[in-house]
Structure 1
Amino acid sequence: MNYRILIVDDDPAIAGLVRIYIEHEGWTCVMAGNGEEGLEALAYEEFHLIVLDVMMPRMDGMEFCRRVRETRSLPILMLSAKSEEMDKIAGMMTGADDYLAKPFHPLELVTRIKSLLRRAYQYNRQEPHPEGVIRIGPLVIDSRTHSAEVNGRNLHLTSKEFAILHLLASQPGRVLSAEAIFRQVWQEHYFDSNNTVMVHISNLRDKLEREMRERILVTVWGVGYKIDG
């Protein structure tokens, strides 16, 4: 498969080296010099994986990763000269799938990329569903009809509850913060004191558990919310 990979790094020497090894594998590579250019590339093209530097001007890798995770679940491999454990944890908390400290051996980079691509696009393959339909166990979410059902029974969601459910279910297992959910669903600036998301999550969880008899909408304390796929 001809994977498309986005490199977001402000160091031309490192980005160029990464590109050489990626293209040697037969994959297509696109380069962005900072986080803003990376987001612009994502707005116009589809990619299978992102190689992301942490320390960049204008928009660092952490902020870029947070912005990407608001709408996309593609694998992200972070690169950084920082190797302390807390920096790795911070990278993973913002949504990175793997973390590689500089300096690194190019073959290790390629090995990490191959592993992420296998997990994302080979091991996790599922039976195809009609476009716009998401299935998680007995739960069926249909964006075409703006409806959600459990075993054929309508959940009777409000428009905001449906939007939250669809956002989380489209990225099963991915934790989204209350701020990320609010920005995506309400399209407004988020305030720390705003408990709107928490209230809607609570109502949505009640409706799901009433029909499913199990908890799939999970709170990750101090981080956000996710749907267990």
Structure 2
Amino acid sequence: MVQHSILVVEDDKEIATILVKFLRERDYQVTWASTGNEGWEDFKSGKYDMAIIDLMLPGMDGFTLCQNIRWSSQIPMLILSARHEEDDKVRGLKIGADDYMTKPFSLRELGARVESQLRRYGRYQEEIHHEDMLEYDGGLTIYPEKKEVILNSNSISLTSKEFSLLLLFCQNPQHAFTKKELYEHIWQQQEVSGNNTVTVHIKSLRDKLKDPLKNPLFIQTLWGQGYRFVGVPKK
């Protein structure tokens, strides 16, 4: 039997202790983080099949954490929150959460929802092929695992940040990213006024991809908004 790995991000120690004990008794491998930033670091350094996230977290809030995880992964996410407002539920689901439970909650119901989400994710994993490469019109090929990028049969050298930007774009085609979102997601720091780090890296990435600004094949500038990936997958 495969042991599923679950990330629990909950700042209330009493609730977290109950959750972790309940899930481990059901043979899940559980990692607990008490802040949003800690949860994001755990997610990036580990491999998880599901995340259970509280909204009201110190540091990075639950909404931002869910958004960061969804930009990088399709694992199921279940939000736990003491907030009952409909707007919070709608916002959570819109940014990529798969389910939402309000506190206090039934452990029995939580267990059933966890099982349901993991079954659904398992079927999803079986239906898709693991992408060992991404190909686009214009001669661009990306190997995510090897962190290798080929343009018209030639290997191009990207910095770690440039590659992270490109992969984030490819994993979220047509999504309009603001400079603030890109900076805070890739650099993991709060953006400050006048920071042109993202602009410089996007320009360098474009130059290496030989991507024209006016008629882009891959990265489009949305003036006054940010950037989005417009690459066409090769059939």
Place the TM-score, normalised by the shorter chain, in its bin.
0.5 to 0.7
Letter in 1 for 2:112: T
Partner of 1:10: 11
SS at match of 1:207: coil
Structure 1, residues 84-113: CA drift from partner, whole Å, max 9, x if none? 211112223444232111222222212222
Question: How many residues of Structure 1 are paired with residues of Structure 2 in the alignment?
Answer: 215
Structure 2 contact 71–172 (Cα < 8 Å) conserved: no
Q: TM-score of the superposition, structure 1-length normalised?
A: 0.66
Inter-partner Cα distance in structure 2 for 1:38 and 1:188: 15
Distance 1:104 1:21 in 2: 13
| Structure 1 CA distance for aligned equivalents of residues 164 and 121 of structure 2 | 24
Q: Is 1:147 aligned to residue 146 of structure 2? A: no
Q: CA deviation at 1:135?
A: 3.5
What does 1:109-120 align with in structure 2 at a 5 Å threshold?
109-120=110-121
Q: List per-residue Cα deviations over 1:194-224 (Å, max 9, x = no partner).
A: 7949997995984159xxxxxxx9x9xx998
SS where residue 120 of structure 1 aligns? helix
How has the CA–CA distance of structure 1 residues 32 and 190 changed in structure 2, closer, same or farther, with 3 Å as cutoff?
A: closer
Q: Is the 8 A contact 2:148 2:155 kept in 1?
A: no
The 5-angstrom pairing of residues 76-155 of structure 1 reads: 76-125=77-126, 126-129=128-131, 133-135=132-134, 140-143=141-144, 144=146, 146-147=148-149
In structure 1, list runs of 5 or more residues that go unmatched.
210-216
Partner of 1:207: 217
1:106-135 Cα shifts (integer Å, max 9, x gaps):
222122222322333332333345xxx334
CA shift, 1:173, in A, is 9.2
After TM superposition, the score normalised by the length of structure 2 is: 0.64
From the superposition, tell whether residues 60 and 128 of structure 1 become closer, same or farther in structure 2 (CA, over 3 Å).
closer
Percent identical residues: 27
Does the Cα contact within 8 Å between 1:178 and 1:198 map onto a contact in 2?
Answer: no
Q: What code does the residue aligned with 1:36 have?
A: N
Specify the code of the residue in structure 2 equivalent to 1:142: Y
Please report how far the alpha carbon of residue 2 of structure 1 lies from its aligned counterpart in structure 2 after TM superposition: 0.4
Aligned to 1:48: 49
Q: How does 1:163-174 map to 2 (within 5 A)?
A: 164-170=165-171
Q: Contact 1:176–1:226 (CA<8 Å) still a contact in 2?
A: no
Query: C-alpha distance in 2, partners of 1:146/1:187?
Result: 23
Q: Which residue of 2 aligns with 1:37?
A: 38
Q: Distance in 1 between matches of 2:165 and 2:215?
A: 11
* TM-align CA RMSD: 4.5
Alpha-carbon contact 1:148-1:162 (below 8 Å) kept: no
Deviates more, 1:161-170 or 1:106-115: 161-170
Q: Deviations over 1:117-157 (max 9, x none)?
A: 2333332333345xxx33478884225474357xxx66999
SS state at 1:74 partner: coil
